[in-house]
Structures are given as C-alpha cells and as structure tokens.
Amino acid sequence: MAPAEPNALPFEQKGEVPNFPEELPGWGGYIEWEKYPEKKEQAAKELAKYDFPVPPEFQFVPLPDTNPILEGVRWKYYHYAMGKTLRDMPDISWKYVQKEKSPDMIHVLQFPYNGEPPRTEITANADFFVRNHGGIPEIEAEEHFIDVEGLVNNPKRLTLKQLQDESIFPRMTKTVTLQCSGTRRIEQIHEYPGEGDELINAPWGEGAIGTARWTGVSLKKVIKHCGGLAEGGAHLEFFGADTYFKKGAVYNYGVSIPARKMKVNEVMLAWEMNGAPLPKIHGYPLRVVVFGYIGARSCKWLYRINVLREPSLAPVQMKEYIYFTPQIGKHNATYSNGFSIQTMPVSSAIMTPLNHDQIIHDGTIKLTGWAYSGSGWPERVEVSGDGGSIWYEVPWEKVSTKYFHAWRVWEMEMPVDAEGWLEFCVRTWDSSMNTQPTYVRSAWNWDLHVTSSCHRIKIYSINRSRPATAKRLKQLADRNIPMLPITHPIEMELETEDEYLHAMRTRRGRDPVE
C-alpha cells in the first residue's frame, strides 16, 4: 500500500512485502543496517526487483516552476519498496515540513526533504534550511542513547539523560553556522551542468546556510569520559538513524571527521537549537555540529560514534562530497581522484535584492547578505555595482558581530548612479586574507559543490535622482500606469509631435548638414 496524499505515488509491490522491522521501541523509522550485512543484502535484492525511474533532466532544460521544485520520485519508490517501516517516510517527512518549517520555504526537493528559506528570513528555526538524504526518524528522547565504540579505551552506551547531566558533562553553547556544500549550486547548473542526481544536485540557491545558537556537550568531553582514544584512533565516524539509498544498496547515514577536530573542541553533540529542543527535522533528539566543516558532517539523529584509523568508508564520506578539478567528470571521475570537502572556504552572497529585480531608487540601493568562512571569520565584505571592477567596502558597523564559527550578515547602501541593467556582486575577505574566485567558471566542479565564486545578480536600475527618470515616473504616476515590470510596453506616447520636433531641432536634426 502506498502512503496517502500528498506524497502518494502508485506503487505495486513485487512479490512478498519485505519485513524490515524497527530496531528499537520508541525509535520510529530506524532500521539498523550497518550491523547486519545479511539484512543489507536482502534489501539490495528487494531493490533489484524494480526498474526505478531515472533522475529527471533538469540541468539542460529549465527547472520546473513549482514548489516543491523537484519531487524525488525515485526516493519515494525506494522507501515504498522496503515495506512497512519505511514506506510512510515520505509522508512523515512532509508532515514535519508542515509542522516545523515556515510556510514560505522554498521546497527544493520534496523527498528526501531539502528546503531553503526565502532570502529575507534567516535565523529562526522555522526558517533554517533543511537537507535530508532520507526520511525523518521519530525518536523518543527518553529512549535515546548513543553507542561510543571502536578505538576508544572504554566503549560506552550513553543515554541522552546522561549527556545532559551537568555533573558528568559541562554544557556548551555556541553560535555556529552550518552550510551545505551545495549552497548556490544553481549558479553552476545554469552555466556548466554536472553530475545529474536530483538529490546531491538539489538546485540550491543562496539559502542552504544558516546560523543557530546550539547547546550540547563538547565531543571531546564524551571521548574523555570513554577513556580517551585507543592507540591508532584517528577518525570519528557518526551514524544517523535514517536510511540512505545509494546505487541499489541501503545504509544508515554515515560520515566521519578527523579526531583532531574533536580535540580542539570544535565538535558538539547538540540537543538544543536557539534555546528550543532540536526540531525533529533537524535531528531530534541529538545531532552532531561540526564547526567550520561542510554541513554533511553534522550528523542528525545520531546513535553511534565509531572511532576508526582511517576516514569512514560509508558512501556519504567516501563517495560523495568530493571536490574534483575542472578536467574531471563522467569520463574519468573516481572516488579517489578528487579531495574530500571538509573545511568550507570563504564565501558570501547577496540576499536582497533578488536577481532580475527592477529597482526605483534615489542614487543608492540597499543590499543585504551573508559572509562566511569555515577556517576563520569574515573580516571585510566588498560589493560592486559593475560586475567586479569597482569595489566598495561594506562599513564595519554594517557587518554583524564576529564569531569564530559563524557567518556575518551585512547591509550596504551602495551608491548607484548608472541606470539600466547592472551586475552586482559581492566578495569577502576572511581573517587569513583568503577571498573568492571572481567567476563561476573557476568554481565549477563535476559534483557541483562549493560554489564560492563571487555571487552575482543582475538588477535593473531606475534612478529617480536623474531628471529624465523623475519626469517619466511622474508621467506614469499621473496616468496610473505601473512602472513595473519594465517588460510591459508603456501605453502612452513618449513625446508629443511638438516635443519631438523641438528636441530634434535642438539636437541639430537627424541628418548630417552636408
């Protein structure tokens, strides 16, 4: 049986409905795969029975003008095919979108849910971007625990209650930005398409980044509580309770980070987001927050930490989030010939105005945006009104508070004399004096990650401080004719015959004198 509206797709189970039960009571939607290779194999056999639809082409043709933009049809089918425990995941996931997120989210992919806020709202939990690789597990806090195992001296099972016990673990609260490495991918797609999977290529705009005040414990304290790392322990692998499908196989979401990152207190196990319990969609009851790294490492619905000698071989770590050179693509890419994206580079974006806005102004246009660097903090933000020749510094008072691990939002009244189509762009310099590539061309990479080139928008400038423009605006206003959109022809004469003749004679006529 396929789930009910709004996600329902016709689905016919082939053969017997498989039975992959939930692993634990109070952990809805969590099937443990990693510990049971034979179960994984059985799931792969189930998946092999179906001809799932290929991903839709959306890079060489325009994106659908719908919200959700993409539906994620294959991903829904994968979940239906797994039987009772997962088949309602598309519906459950959508239910939490309705319940926990703002009604004006841009739904980039319906399932697994990927959504970004409209450009103006950025910090509230309801507006925080969401990036899921699967469904949303429903885990009861009282039933929750994590297993810390592998190369630690005293492997332990720790309940959420224990983690929250301040007599064992000091509490930590920090303002930290999470950025998906797919942020601003749409710019690469428009210029130079790449790997065409609807999930990893969720066509993000500037909103797949958000900042929150997270509360939890430092992972360093947790590892210490487990006796510290054992000999050779160098990477920390995290597992989330959601099911991830990749090339006909199933997994629990798994990633890893080098232990070094934990040792400098830059990894938190968090249960609070902006003073409220984590929303379900953001990893309730417990998630990882890795400061300065790509969002993918901040594992949600955390249930297991496994200490390894080498980076995780889980597919999200080994096979995805790889940064390739411009000469690598479908013709020659391997998992090993690109590097693993961890620390995010300096980048920034203009949030308002929006691309193609037509702006009536009096000689200055207000810009707002964000600036972020994973390896430091934004020191200077610069904007240009001519595509990047002349730059203006955003005054320091107009750039928000500095944090070690968070973005700075900024605003700027930019002097704009010119009229017509202009290209605005922004670049940021971070605390190590790194800045951004000028054009998307130099940022392009096959997996379409990390679009850190200067963010550009085209706007149409209508400068009221210029007399001719002021006059036209008044004429239009007197006749109740809208100025916008500029593409609508003006239903009035631009000059009378008398005005025309007078002007032509003043301009010394159309023709040369001899």
Ligand X SMILES: Nc1nc2c(c(=O)[nH]1)N[C@H]1C(S)=C(S)[C@@H](COP(=O)(O)O)O[C@H]1N2
Distance in Å, CB of 347 to ligand X, minimum: 14
Rounded Cα distance between 251 and 239, Å, is 10
Task: Answer yes or no whether residue 242 interacts with ligand X by CB under 6 A.
Answer: yes
| Footprint (CB under 6 A) of ligand X, residues 275-304 | 282, 295-296, 298-301
Q: Contacting Mo ion (CB under 5 A), which of 79, 101, 119, 131?
A: 131
In 197-234, DSSP assigns E strands to 209-218
Distance in Å, CB of 187 to Mo ion, minimum: 17
Distances (CA, A) of 112 to 128, 136, 142, 198, 274: 16, 9, 26, 10, 24
| Nearer residue to ligand X within complex by CB, 182 or 385 | 182
Rounded Cα distance between 157 and 419, Å, is 65
249-258 and 235-246 strand pairing: antiparallel
Q: Contacting ligand X (CB under 6 A), which of 20, 128, 214, 372?
A: 128
| Nearer residue to ligand X within complex by CB, 177 or 461 | 177
Q: Which residues contact 432 (CB under 8 A, 6 or more apart)?
A: 375, 376
Binding mask 68-97 for ligand X (x = CB under 6 A): ------------------------------
Q: Which residues contact 43 (CB under 8 A, 6 or more apart)?
A: 18, 20, 33, 82, 249, 250
Work out what residue 271 binds among Mo ion, ligand X, none; the CB cut-off runs from 5 to 8 Å by kind: none
Q: Which residues contact 173 (CB under 8 A, 6 or more apart)?
A: 213, 214, 215, 272
What single-letter amino acid sits at 399? V
Q: Contacting Mo ion (CB under 5 A), which of 296, 371, 416, 462?
A: 296
Task: Answer yes or no whether residue 295 interacts with Mo ion by CB under 5 A.
Answer: yes
Task: Answer yes or no whether residue 135 interacts with Mo ion by CB under 5 A.
Answer: no
Distance in Å, CB of 298 to Mo ion, minimum: 9
- Give the closest residue to 55 by CA, choosing from 195, 186, 182: 195
- Give the closest residue to 33 by CA, choosing from 82, 102, 70: 82
Work out what residue 284 binds among Mo ion, ligand X, none; the CB cut-off runs from 5 to 8 Å by kind: none
Task: Answer yes or no whether residue 169 interacts with ligand X by CB under 6 A.
Answer: no
| Nearer residue to Mo ion within complex by CB, 79 or 131 | 131
Q: Which residue is nearest to ligand X (CB)?
A: 240
| Nearer residue to ligand X within complex by CB, 70 or 130 | 130
Q: Contacting ligand X (CB under 6 A), which of 180, 226, 367, 412?
A: 180
Q: Contacting ligand X (CB under 6 A), which of 253, 444, 446, 460?
A: 253
| Nearer residue to ligand X within complex by CB, 299 or 425 | 299
Give me the DSSP letters along 316-375: HHHTSSEE--TT-STTT--SSSSEE--B---EEEEEES-TT-EEEESSEEEEEEEEE-TT
Task: Answer yes or no whether residue 132 interacts with ligand X by CB under 6 A.
Answer: yes
What's the chain's Rg over C-alpha atoms?
A: 26
Interface residues toward Mo ion, by CB under 5 A: 131, 180, 295-296
Interface residues toward ligand X, by CB under 6 A: 128-134, 178, 180, 240, 242, 253, 282, 295-296, 298-301
